Amino acid sequence: MNLLLRPITILGARVLDGLEFLGGMGYLLLDTIAAVRIALFGTRGRRMAWANLWAQMVRVGVRSIAIVSLVVFCIGAILALQMAPILKDYGAVSKVADIISVSMFRELGPLVSAIVLTGFAGASIAAEMGSMVVSEEIEALEASAIHPVRFLVVPRVLATTVMMVCLAVVGDLMGVLGGMLISRAFLGISFLQYSTHTFDSVQIKDFITGLFKAGVFGAIISSLACYLGLGVTGGAQGVGNATTRTVVLTIVMLIVVDLMFTSVFYYLGI
């Protein structure tokens, strides 16, 4: 009987863990939304320090520009090389620019930039939050009547969301540039021809949907990192576990959310 009940017990425990996770994330998001209003428009003394927000933007975004640019540039170049043989068979090599530009602005630019930012900033935020929990700094803030969400979470969520949008723009341009250079070097497509196809194929809706996704991705990265970091238990080992979980869960969630958005946009014809 115990052997028969064991799988059910394990499944039930996993379901309860999942519900607890979703409930905790939902509570943190609601608390963060309420704290954002106070941090931006509250009375003096309760507002967020703009220097803190700027420091987080530099830490999250500015320091990520180089690695995001390199990764997305390489992906654009790889796409050009992979698609060239197929398109040559149909005499449509020039369509490389169309495919790369649309895929970059709508999908790959925001998604790849978000995945890179997860490893660069998401893990850092989770480790920092976890270390503060272990060293009892969170309790010290609460004892000083300082709201941890308003003081710690809000600047990181706002900074990551804003800089994720900026990084998506950089990633879009670098991906298109990578495809352009490879197309010029190996496929015989001139810069003018590539640019013309890019401007003809990319529409405003492609750019807007990509930026919208990027903003949501930024909020997911920072919120999940803060939640898992603040939930650390077990000392230094707990910090390491939270950091690992942050990277894995965030990447999975980013891809799932991207699929949901893409499906909705396809259904709406956007």
pLDDT in tens, 157-206: 999 999 999 999 999 999 999 999 988 888 888 888 888 888 888 889 98
CA-based torsion, 26, 31, 34, 37: positive or negative: negative
Query: Is 24 within the bounds of a domain?
Result: no
Tokens 């894995």, located at residue: 248
**pLDDT higher than threshold 70 for residue 48:** no
Number of domains in the chain: 1
**pLDDT higher than threshold 70 for residue 152:** yes
Nearest to 68 by CA among 101, 109, 123, 128: 109
The vertex-223 CA angle with 162 and 142, nearest 5°, equals 110
Query: Is 4 within the bounds of a domain?
Result: no
Write down the pLDDT at residue 46: 59
Residues whose CB falls within 8 Å of the CB of residue 242, separated by 6 or more in sequence, listed in order: 126, 127, 129, 130, 228, 229, 231, 232
Q: Are 61 and 122 in contact (CB under 8 A)?
A: no
Query: Is 145 within the bounds of a domain?
Result: yes
* Portion of the chain with pLDDT greater than 70, in percent: 94
Query: Is 33 within the bounds of a domain?
Result: no
**pLDDT higher than threshold 60 for residue 53:** yes
Query: Is 3 within the bounds of a domain?
Result: no
**pLDDT higher than threshold 60 for residue 112:** yes
**pLDDT higher than threshold 80 for residue 97:** yes
- Mean pLDDT, the chain, rounded, equals 84
Residues whose CB falls within 8 Å of the CB of residue 61, separated by 6 or more in sequence, listed in order: 159, 160, 162, 163, 164, 166, 167
The arithmetic mean of pLDDT across residues 222-235, rounded, is 85
Residue 124: which domain range?
48-268
Query: Is 192 within the bounds of a domain?
Result: yes
Write down the pLDDT at residue 2: 63
Query: Is 1 within the bounds of a domain?
Result: no
HSE-up of 9 (CA within 13 Å, CB side)? 6
Q: 32 versus 64: which is more confidently predicted?
A: 64
The arithmetic mean of pLDDT across residues 39-48, rounded, is 63
Q: 249 versus 92: which is more confidently predicted?
A: 249
Write down the pLDDT at residue 3: 64
Query: Is 220 within the bounds of a domain?
Result: yes
